[in-house]
């Protein structure tokens, strides 16, 4: 299916955005976000269905002749059954887990497909995967940075209130409850973006022919950073951490982000 590979790139992007929506809905119930995520999931299924129909019409046979084609079909059947089950009797979290596994299946199939084509015929696709990896990762870093600013503003506001100073500035900094909520929301968006970015990075490394280092400092640093932000979400959601403690945790985590972005790049044998 290499001649329609660009469509699968779009499918990966749509599924990634759908995953972001479902993660947000799981951690913080939001009906509107869930409807958007479900719509994106349906769009991904429709695109994949169109590809399969095209393949059947083009080859006059089901695309089941090799492991790569079977993996693509496996991913399509999984999405199809998920959408059917969701309409008949909704099950909590089933879409989230399905999207994650489908992404892995598509990434595996695309990686093997590109390997089979050879680097000369797939260089442009590999380059696009790299661009997508960088884009998702940068967007995640932007949201994490915004979250840090909001947490820092919370700590300043909290200090001013306790010291009964600078009350005239309060209206500019917004109230503590909103700062805490906005900071949490931006991390909530950043975590799935970074997850998809890392996944695409692994795909690019696998398909580009570059020597990949699992113990590369930037790779390890990014996975540690993701883990810390996941801990932040768990503390915030399950343990009920609010206000100053979680804002201090978030601010400290931003230092890890800076170390990973600035220092680990210079120590990396794999990243630029």
Q: What are phi and psi of 266, to 5 degrees?
A: -75, -20
* Token pair recorded at residue 146: 């915004």
Looking at residue 215, the DSSP 8-state letter turns out to be T
Task: Check residue 101 and give its pLDDT.
Answer: 85
Higher pLDDT, 267 or 139: 139
Task: Check residue 210 and give its pLDDT.
Answer: 57
> What percent of the chain has a predicted confidence (pLDDT) above 90?
10
> Are residue 140 and residue 235 in the same domain, yes or no?
yes
Tens-place pLDDT, residues 188-200: 888 888 888 887 7
> Are residue 243 and residue 180 in the same domain, yes or no?
yes
Ordered DSSP codes for 69-87: HHHHHHHHHHHHHHHHHHH
Tens-place pLDDT, residues 133-164: 788 889 899 999 999 998 888 888 877 777 66
Burial class (CB in 10 A: 0-12, 13-18, 19+), 150: buried
> Are residue 168 and residue 84 in the same domain, yes or no?
no
> Are residue 203 and residue 233 in the same domain, yes or no?
yes
CB of 118 closer than 8 Å to CB of 144: no
Residue 106 has pLDDT above 60, yes or no: yes
Q: Residue 213 — pLDDT band, cuts 50, 70, 90? A: low
Q: Residue 216 — pLDDT band, cuts 50, 70, 90? A: low
> Are residue 236 and residue 135 in the same domain, yes or no?
yes
Last residue of a domain, one of 117, 148, 165: 117
Last residue of a domain, one of 117, 151, 185: 117
Task: Check residue 1 and give its pLDDT.
Answer: 54
> Are residue 194 and residue 69 in the same domain, yes or no?
no
> Are residue 147 and residue 127 in the same domain, yes or no?
yes
CA 153 centroid distance within chain: 27
Q: Considering its fold, how many domains does the chain have in total?
A: 2
For the residues 83-87, what does the mean pLDDT come to? 82
CB of 98 closer than 8 Å to CB of 83: no
> Are residue 169 and residue 184 in the same domain, yes or no?
yes
> Are residue 96 and residue 27 in the same domain, yes or no?
yes
Residue 43 has pLDDT above 70, yes or no: yes
Last residue of a domain, one of 88, 117, 146: 117
- Using alpha carbons, select from 193, 192, 218 the residue that is nearest to residue 205: 218
Place of tokens 């929506």: 21
> Are residue 98 and residue 135 in the same domain, yes or no?
no
- Using alpha carbons, select from 165, 207, 236 the residue that is nearest to residue 2: 207
Q: What residues make up the domain containing 105?
A: 1-117
* Token pair recorded at residue 266: 């210079």
CA distances from residue 129 to 105, 134, 137, 199 in whole angstroms, order as listed: 16, 9, 12, 10
> Are residue 162 and residue 32 in the same domain, yes or no?
no
Q: Residue 178 — pLDDT band, cuts 50, 70, 90? A: confident
Task: Check residue 123 and give its pLDDT.
Answer: 63
Helices (H), 67-175: 67-88, 94-117, 119-162, 170-173
H/E stretch holding 221 reads helix 217-237
Tens-place pLDDT, residues 202-211: 777 766 655 5
pTM: 0.72
> Are residue 38 and residue 55 in the same domain, yes or no?
yes
């Amino acid at each position: 299916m290499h001649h329609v590979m660009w469509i699968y790139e779009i499918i990966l992007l749509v599924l990634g955005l759908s995953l972001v929506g479902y993660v947000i809905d799981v951690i913080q119930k939001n009906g509107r976000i869930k409807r958007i995520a479900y719509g994106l999931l349906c769009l991904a299924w429709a695109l994949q269905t169109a590809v399969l129909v095209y393949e059947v019409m083009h080859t006059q046979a089901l695309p089941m002749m090799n492991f790569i084609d079977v993996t693509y079909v496996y991913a399509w059947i999984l999405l199809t059954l998920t959408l059917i089950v969701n309409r008949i009797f909704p099950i909590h979290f089933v879409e989230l887990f399905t999207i994650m596994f489908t992404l892995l299946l598509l990434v595996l199939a695309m990686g093997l497909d590109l390997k089979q084509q050879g680097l000369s015929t797939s260089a442009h696709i590999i380059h696009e995967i790299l661009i997508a990896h960088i884009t998702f990762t940068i967007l995640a870093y932007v949201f994490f940075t915004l979250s840090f600013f909001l947490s820092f503003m919370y700590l300043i506001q909290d200090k001013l209130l306790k010291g009964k100073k600078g009350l005239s500035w309060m209206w500019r900094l917004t109230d503590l409850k909103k700062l805490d909520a906005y900071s949490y929301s931006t991390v909530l968006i950043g975590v799935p973006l970074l997850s998809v970015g890392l996944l695409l990075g692994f795909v690019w490394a696998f398909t580009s022919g570059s020597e990949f280092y699992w113990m590369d400092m930037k790779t390890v640093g990014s996975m540690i950073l993701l883990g810390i932000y996941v801990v932040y979400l768990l503390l915030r959601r399950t343990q009920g951490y609010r206000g100053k403690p979680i804002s201090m945790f978030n601010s400290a985590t931003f230092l890890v982000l800076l170390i990973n972005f600035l220092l680990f790049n210079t120590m990396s044998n794999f990243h630029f």
